[in-house]
Structure 1
Amino acid sequence: MKELVLIIGGIYGTLAVIFGAFGAHALKKRFTADQLKSFETGVKYQMYHAIMLIICGISFPFLVLSQQLTALFFIIGTFLFSFSIYALNLGASSGKKFRFMGPVTPVGGLLLIIGWVLFTINIAKIALYL
């Protein structure tokens, strides 16, 4: 599990840099200011959580379910949150409305919040036993 979490963290980080550059250059002319800002929010959250996955991969032995769930919530939450924002903005800029993606973003955000709560609990347990 540890290796997979680190790999996904690295993939998410790499994609965040690529999507950030793509948004700043290729999409700048295609997106409205609001769409660009929204797209950048997706990129930022993706990078934040890529870093968190790497921190989890370094900090946790993943021997207990709550540590595994922490990483899982970050992985799925990041995918749902950031990638739904990308889809919504890319769709809107090309005249296609992906309305079904609208509710996906807050579900991803909720999973990220749960991931942060679990991370805090797990890291506190580790810190208290050191």
Structure 2
Amino acid sequence: MAAPSPNLLWKVGSGFAGAGIMAGAFGAHGLKSRGIAPESIASFQTGSHYLVFNGLALLLLSLHPRFSVHRFAGPAIAGGAFLFSGSIFALVLNRDRFKFLGPITPLGGVLMIAGYVSMVL
């Protein structure tokens, strides 16, 4: 498996940060009008926060001389953030249709953690 390029990490990080900001705005303003419960709106906000935080982390990672070409860290953080936040968004917007995604959320969290831990080792 080849390491992702720093340029790719930068683009994914920028995309995640921007998408997280947009999701946060939608969560704060658009979900109330859809009759979504406050605890589900809070979950949606958690998903948007994690997307922004991990997007910023990927931006920083892309600038690091060693970890910008790490084979596992960037892909694990990006994949984990996508699974974690994406599954939360889908569950909040249509729990009945995407019920099967419930177990994906913690797997995404574990993948993110593994990406960060891999830089310590």
Q: Do they superpose with TM above 0.5?
A: yes
Structure 2 CA distance for aligned equivalents of residues 70 and 47 of structure 1: 17
Structure 1 residue 97 displacement after superposition: 4.0
Alignment of 1:7 with 2:23, yes or no, is: no
Query: Which residue does the alignment assign to 1:58?
Result: 63
Query: Which residue does the alignment assign to 1:128?
Result: none
Structure 2 CA distance for aligned equivalents of residues 90 and 63 of structure 1: 34
Tell me if the contact between 1:2 and 1:61 (Cα under 8 Å) persists in the aligned partners: no
Q: Provide the secondary structure at the position in 1 that maps to 2:72.
A: helix
Structure 2 CA distance for aligned equivalents of residues 63 and 46 of structure 1: 19
Query: Which residue does the alignment assign to 2:38?
Result: 33
Alignment of 1:83 with 2:83, yes or no, is: no
The alignment's TM-score, normalised by the length of structure 2, stands at 0.89
Query: Which residue does the alignment assign to 2:115?
Result: 115
Query: Which residue does the alignment assign to 1:73?
Result: 76
Cα RMSD over matched residues? 1.5
Structure 1 CA distance for aligned equivalents of residues 66 and 11 of structure 2: 15
Structure 2 CA distance for aligned equivalents of residues 14 and 63 of structure 1: 20
Structure 1 residue 17 displacement after superposition: 0.8
Q: Provide the secondary structure at the position in 1 that maps to 2:106.
A: helix
Name stretches of at least 5 consecutive residues in structure 2 with no aligned partner: none
**Considering only CA atoms, is the larger Rg found in Structure 1 or Structure 2?**
1
Structure 1 segments of 4 or more deviating over 2 A? 60-64
Structure 1 residue 120 displacement after superposition: 2.9
Q: Provide the secondary structure at the position in 1 that maps to 2:32.
A: coil
Identity of aligned residues (%): 35
Moved more, 13-22 or 23-32: 23-32
Structure 2 CA distance for aligned equivalents of residues 60 and 19 of structure 1: 31
Structure 1 residue 117 displacement after superposition: 0.4
The alignment's TM-score, normalised by the length of structure 1, stands at 0.83
Name stretches of at least 5 consecutive residues in structure 1 with no aligned partner: 122-130
Alignment deviations for residues 12-71 of structure 1 (CA, whole Å, 9 cap, x no partner): 01101111111111112321111001000000111110011011101134586xx22100
Aligned length: 116
